[in-house]
């Protein structure tokens, strides 16, 4: 594929960012180069995961995709969590969810809609995803709502509620995998179509495993650089950590997925485009976020699910509009415009939020 | 029916709870035995109402079910209102609504879905119920919203708004009965099917009337015991009145309905299961709550509809997810899991809410 | 048409209100007569716009309707903005949106439903309008949400966010016109049917242009009288400016549209009724409100989109229930009752809101 050359070229930012870090260059340079280095690493890690998934058969493959599909976001978040940057971690979760359902779905629907008058997709899967997303939003909203409506909180109440919520979300996530891979896999069959890109016979398993491991290690290093430079970069550029966490970090980890979703939408495979984008949001909300809560608890960096109220509002409005657009099983370019406009307004709001 | 023996056996708690009250046993014992005594009484009162309804013909019968369907909740709430326990009353209303649409619908959809791959039901009735439920939520939200967004409230403003809202809700409730029993009864015919259980010829009317009256009187006494012991029980068990009101009290009054809804769902009668559960929520919101406002006003115990903001949030999220799950006229086990998971998260949130 | 005589007779309020203003009569009289004078002027301006639109062909005509369809509201709002009555301006925007989607749609659905058992309309157009309305609500909500969740706002943040949001909304509005008039006009063709009333051959273009100009000038004068008397009138009648802005002013500007929507609904043209009412709400939210922000900025009367939180709640609940009612493409009288009941509760809430 042509685009691979582009991402291979971007790997040049890996040594540059390492040099920037070791030679103590300006934090803005360290931040920028590590951000740019993560883009191709995330791309190749995702590609290797998919190749191994193809070889492993549908069930194990589905599990692999479901677990490592957002590995980049998870690694960046773990590093930030370890550094105690709770609000950056939460903001990057919010931003990943919003970015996937507004920016990626919006671009896919808009660009697909410019090429095809009306595009159709399975409304059943769209509605199941919508109600799972609603559950995820509720899980995000309730701790913040308890916090906001309680004058004097018992110490630890929010943390205990977050732990309980995290366990419930992971349980539902596992059950939703059983649903989509086992008991009701027929509903999802029409959505498939990715395998063509990685024909089973062409997969070089040792190479894929090596790529996966190498990319994971490098992403972990780059995340350290990125997180280490984030504070000075934000103050140098006059941005808030919230804005960087919500808007910039998620763009990095998801750039490759964004490209894939838009590409398949322009091939009129809206089902696949929506599955990639909304599935990724669901994974962030129902797997990555709870794993971070549990990991934080194990690491002695207790993270709760008590998001900033404005983040909660932003996620609620995003899920509301994407459900409103997707529920009828057809899309057109104006619906893409609506999602992109919502993303723009939300991004401006975060920019002006101190 | 086999289950009747179980409920007959539970009637033993009636004399036990009376003994506990008269002999001034531990409040926790009084609370527990009166709670357990109400379960079979509510069951037999409901059964008697249905039998009389069958004999009275569809219209009067429909009215009877619509008026006495939640008589247990109404009696408990009136006793609590008379004792001035406003927040317990409101919490039990919230809890009945949430319990019916999350726990009962969730169990019915989940257990029905384990037996049948996909279950179908009339989307038109589901949507009408959804928009009535939305209206009920709006009526619950607005007084709280006026309260929360107003720095200095004129005395009596919330009470007047609650009275006006109560009158509007009762009017819409009566109109919805005219709709379902008269002008558009054909939409609801497919939902029927309960009558088989109580064949008209087998109904013993005097026995049914005697059961109804006897159960009503006993429930009123048991409610007095329950309400009298609630304060000491909550502090002895380390629970809040909000938690007891929202989670425990509603489980008691609705236990028999819960069983019925789940049973019919497992016979693939999802329409009937949803009508019982969502219909019960609607009755609480559009008939029991307004009646309590008017009764409180008449009793000199003025109750308003200014719910705790967190209760409002809980009802909003419950209605949102049940509408999201039910709007397409089909259900599967994963949707049941989503409702139950939401119930669990909401219950934890109330547990941690001080 | 018979109704024209009624509106012609109401023109008598024009000289009466001018006399009241010049002779410094009681402000309540000035307010009332100018309000009553605007009703027929708005009617004839709307009629003239439609006639010119018919002659101009579908595209230019669509643009004319889309731009001047709410000219009365725009003129009143500009005059109020120039007088610095920001909260009246915002309240009249909120009230126009709420009035159109609750009162007008509610009356149309209710009265139409009394005549026809079930009425059908194009669900695709209804859903597109629903998601556009959702976007408009988000745009209204976010500045208020930033305000409410931020302890210390950077000066100008809300104003800059409002300007950015206004530009985005106008862009989406223009794109939605391109969608409905150009790229996807076939979706809207079934909705048409208005042209019969103004057959092309009968349009007297010079008369229509003269009516348009004359009515515009007179509405501007009447608005000056109305705005000048508003403060003394509200205090004399014991009403708040919020109530007058939200409930009374919008009734005036929209009275003629209300009549049209109800009339066509009773002819079983629900598509047209919904297009008039919901389209008018969309125009207020996505065109009139942003134009006022930009005009205010140009006039040195900077208006933001930071609405009172209770207004935001009212708009959210209105859009939620109208979407819930309209999304399935069929309506009945009970759904009309639900919308009217919501309007009544919202109106009471504004009445009791200090």
DSSP-assigned states of every residue in B134-154: HHHHHHHHHHHHHHHH-SSPP
Q: Residue A204: helix, strand or coil by DSSP?
A: coil
Which residues touch B233 (CB under 8 Å, ≥6 apart)?
B27, B28, B30, B31, B239, B244
Rounded distance, CA A349 to CA A90, Å? 17
Rounded distance, CA A135 to CA B80, Å? 33
Output helix, strand, coil percentages for chain B, rounded to the nearest 5: 80, 0, 15
Residue from the list A333, A334, A342 with its beta carbon closest to the beta carbon of C138? A342
Interchain pair A334, C128: CB under 8 A? yes
Rounded distance, CA A273 to CA A331, Å? 12
Q: Which two tokens stand for residue B121?
A: 């039901």
Rounded distance, CA B87 to CA B162, Å? 15
Rounded distance, CA C234 to CA C319, Å? 28
Count of helices and strands (H, E) across chain A:
16, 2
Which residues touch B79 (CB under 8 Å, ≥6 apart)?
B220, B223, B224, B226, B227
User: Do residues C218 and C14 lie in contact, with contact meaning Cβ atoms separated by under 8 Å?
Assistant: yes
Position A170 scores a pLDDT of: 95
Q: What are the distances in angstroms from CA B77 to CA B83, B139, B318, C38, C104?
A: 10, 19, 22, 51, 38
Which residues touch B298 (CB under 8 Å, ≥6 apart)?
none
User: Do residues A126 and A343 lie in contact, with contact meaning Cβ atoms separated by under 8 Å?
Assistant: no
Rounded distance, CA A218 to CA B46, Å? 66
Position C18 scores a pLDDT of: 95
Average model confidence (pLDDT) across chain B: 88
Neighbour subunits, B (≥3 Cβ pairs < 8 A): A, C
User: Do residues C115 and C266 lie in contact, with contact meaning Cβ atoms separated by under 8 Å?
Assistant: yes
User: Do residues C81 and C299 lie in contact, with contact meaning Cβ atoms separated by under 8 Å?
Assistant: yes
DSSP-assigned states of every residue in C104-158: IHHHHHHHHHHHSSSEE--HHHHHHHHHHHHHHHHHHHHHHHHHHH-SSPPTTHH
Interchain pair B344, A142: CB under 8 A? no
Q: Which helix (H) or strand (E) holds C330?
A: strand C330-331
Q: Which residues of chain C have pLDDT under 50?
A: 194-195
User: Do residues B247 and B347 lie in contact, with contact meaning Cβ atoms separated by under 8 Å?
Assistant: yes
Enter the DSSP assignment of B201.
G
Strand-strand pairing, B330-331 and C119-120: unpaired
| Phi, psi (rounded to 5 degrees) for B333 | -65, -30
Q: Residue B119: helix, strand or coil by DSSP?
A: strand
Q: Treating both helix axes as pointing N-terminal to C-terminal, what angle do C249-266 and C105-115 enclose, rounded to 10 degrees?
A: 30
User: Do residues A336 and A107 lie in contact, with contact meaning Cβ atoms separated by under 8 Å?
Assistant: yes
Q: Which helix (H) or strand (E) holds A213?
A: helix A205-237
> In angstroms, how far is CA A30 from the centroid of its own chain?
23
Q: Hunting for tokens 């063509």 — which residue is that?
A: A196
Position A93 scores a pLDDT of: 92
User: Do residues A73 and A284 lie in contact, with contact meaning Cβ atoms separated by under 8 Å?
Assistant: yes
Residue from the list A132, A145, A176 with its beta carbon closest to the beta carbon of B310? A145
Chain C's closest residue to A352, CA to CA, is C157
The length of chain C is: 354
Strand partners, A331: A119
To the nearest whole angstrom, how far is the Cα of A136 from the nearest Cα of chain B? 9
User: Do residues B272 and B84 lie in contact, with contact meaning Cβ atoms separated by under 8 Å?
Assistant: no
Neighbour subunits, C (≥3 Cβ pairs < 8 A): A, B
Long-range CB contacts (within 8 A, 24+) of A181-187? A181/A58, A181/A59, A181/A62, A181/A63, A182/A59, A183/B117, A183/B333, A184/B117, A184/B332, A184/B334, A185/A58, A187/A122, A187/A124, A187/A125, A187/A128
Q: Which residues of chain B have pLDDT under 70?
A: 1-3, 190-201, 354
CB atoms within 10 A of CB B174: 14
User: Would you write out chain A's pLDDT as a tens digit for each of its 354 residues?
Assistant: 556 888 899 999 999 999 999 999 999 999 999 999 998 998 888 888 888 888 887 778 778 877 787 888 899 999 999 999 988 899 999 999 999 899 999 999 999 999 999 999 888 888 888 889 999 999 999 988 888 887 777 778 889 999 999 999 999 999 999 998 889 888 877 655 544 555 666 788 899 999 999 999 999 899 999 999 988 998 898 888 888 888 888 887 777 778 888 888 999 988 888 888 888 899 999 999 999 999 999 999 988 898 988 899 999 999 999 988 888 888 999 999 999 999 999 999 988 876
User: Do residues B105 and B276 lie in contact, with contact meaning Cβ atoms separated by under 8 Å?
Assistant: no
CB atoms within 10 A of CB B194: 17
Report ipTM (2 d.p.): 0.90
Interchain pair B139, C345: CB under 8 A? yes
Enter the DSSP assignment of A119.
E
DSSP-assigned states of every residue in A304-322: -----HHHHHHHHHHHHHH
CB atoms within 10 A of CB B307: 22
Q: Which two tokens stand for residue A308?
A: 């900033």
| Phi, psi (rounded to 5 degrees) for B54 | -65, -45
Q: Which two tokens stand for residue B241?
A: 């009145």
To the nearest whole angstrom, how far is the Cα of C102 from the nearest Cα of chain B? 12
Please report the number of interchain residue pairs, chain A to chain B, with beta-carbon separation below 8 angstroms: 93
Neighbour subunits, A (≥3 Cβ pairs < 8 A): B, C
Q: Which two tokens stand for residue C59?
A: 């595209």
Residue from the list C134, C152, C165 with its beta carbon closest to the beta carbon of A345? C165
The residue among A77, A41, A50 whose CA lies nearest residue A288 is A77
Chain A's closest residue to C143, CA to CA, is A349
Contacts of B344 in chain A (CB under 8 A): 164, 168
User: Do residues B345 and A168 lie in contact, with contact meaning Cβ atoms separated by under 8 Å?
Assistant: yes
Rounded distance, CA B47 to CA A49, Å? 59
Q: Which of C125, C127, C134, C153 to probe the A interface (max A CBs under 10 A)? A: C134
Q: Which helix (H) or strand (E) holds B112?
A: helix B105-115
Q: What is the pLDDT of residues B141-197, one digit of tens each?
A: 998 888 888 777 777 888 899 999 999 999 999 999 999 888 988 887 765 554 455
Contacts of A123 in chain B (CB under 8 A): 328
Rounded distance, CA A242 to CA A235, Å? 12
Which residues touch B110 (CB under 8 Å, ≥6 apart)?
B333, B336, B337, B339, B340
Chain B's closest residue to A185, CA to CA, is B117
Position C195 scores a pLDDT of: 47
Tell me how far apart the terminal alpha carbons of chain B are, to the nearest angstrom: 43
Give the domains, in start order, of chain B with CATH numbers.
2-352 (1.20.1420.30)
Residue from the list B123, B131, B323 with its beta carbon closest to the beta carbon of C325? B131
To the nearest whole angstrom, how far is the Cα of A344 from the nearest Cα of chain B? 26
| Phi, psi (rounded to 5 degrees) for A23 | -95, 10
Rounded distance, CA B176 to CA B182, Å? 10
Enter the DSSP assignment of A198.
S
Residue from the list B128, B139, B142 with its beta carbon closest to the beta carbon of C334? B128
Residue from the list C308, C338, C354 with its beta carbon closest to the beta carbon of B131? C338
The residue among A309, A340, A335, A323 whose CA lies nearest residue A123 is A323
Rounded distance, CA C61 to CA C65, Å? 6
Rounded distance, CA B312 to CA B353, Å? 14
């Amino acid at each position: 594929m042509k685009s691979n050359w582009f991402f291979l070229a971007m790997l040049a930012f890996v040594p540059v960012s390492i040099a920037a870090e070791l030679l103590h260059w300006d934090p803005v340079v360290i931040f920028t180069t590590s951000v740019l280095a993560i883009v191709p690493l995330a791309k190749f890690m995702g590609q290797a995961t998919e190749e191994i998934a193809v070889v492993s058969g549908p069930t194990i493959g589905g599990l692999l995709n479901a677990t490592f599909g957002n590995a980049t976001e998870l690694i960046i978040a773990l590093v930030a969590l370890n550094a105690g940057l709770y609000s950056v971690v939460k903001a990057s979760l919010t931003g990943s969810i919003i970015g996937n359902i507004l920016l990626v779905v919006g671009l896919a629907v808009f660009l697909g809609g410019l090429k095809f008058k009306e595009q159709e997709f399975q409304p059943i899967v769209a509605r199941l995803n919508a109600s799972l997303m609603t559950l995820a939003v509720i899980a995000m909203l309730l701790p913040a709502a308890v916090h906001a409506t309680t004058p004097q909180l018992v110490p630890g109440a929010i943390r205990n509620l977050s732990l309980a919520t995290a366990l419930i979300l992971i349980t539902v996530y596992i059950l939703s995998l059983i649903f989509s891979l086992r008991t009701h896999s027929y509903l999802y069959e029409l959505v498939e179509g990715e395998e063509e890109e990685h024909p089973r016979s062409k997969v070089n398993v040792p190479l894929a495993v090596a790529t996966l491991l190498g990319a994971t290690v490098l992403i972990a290093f780059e995340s350290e650089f990125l997180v280490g430079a984030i504070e000075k970069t934000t103050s140098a550029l006059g941005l808030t950590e919230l804005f960087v966490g919500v808007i910039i970090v998620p763009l990095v980890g998801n750039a490759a997925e964004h490209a894939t979703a838009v590409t398949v939408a322009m091939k009129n495979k809206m089902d696949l485009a929506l599955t990639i984008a909304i599935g990724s949001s669901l994974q962030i909300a129902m797997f990555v976020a709870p794993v971070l809560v549990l990991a934080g608890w194990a690491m002695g960096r207790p993270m709760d699910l008590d998001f900033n109220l404005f983040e909660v509002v932003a996620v609620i409005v995003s899920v509301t509009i994407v459900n409103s657009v997707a529920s009828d099983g057809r899309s057109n370019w104006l619906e893409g415009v609506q999602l992109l406009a919502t993303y723009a307004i939300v991004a401006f709001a975060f920019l002006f939020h101190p």
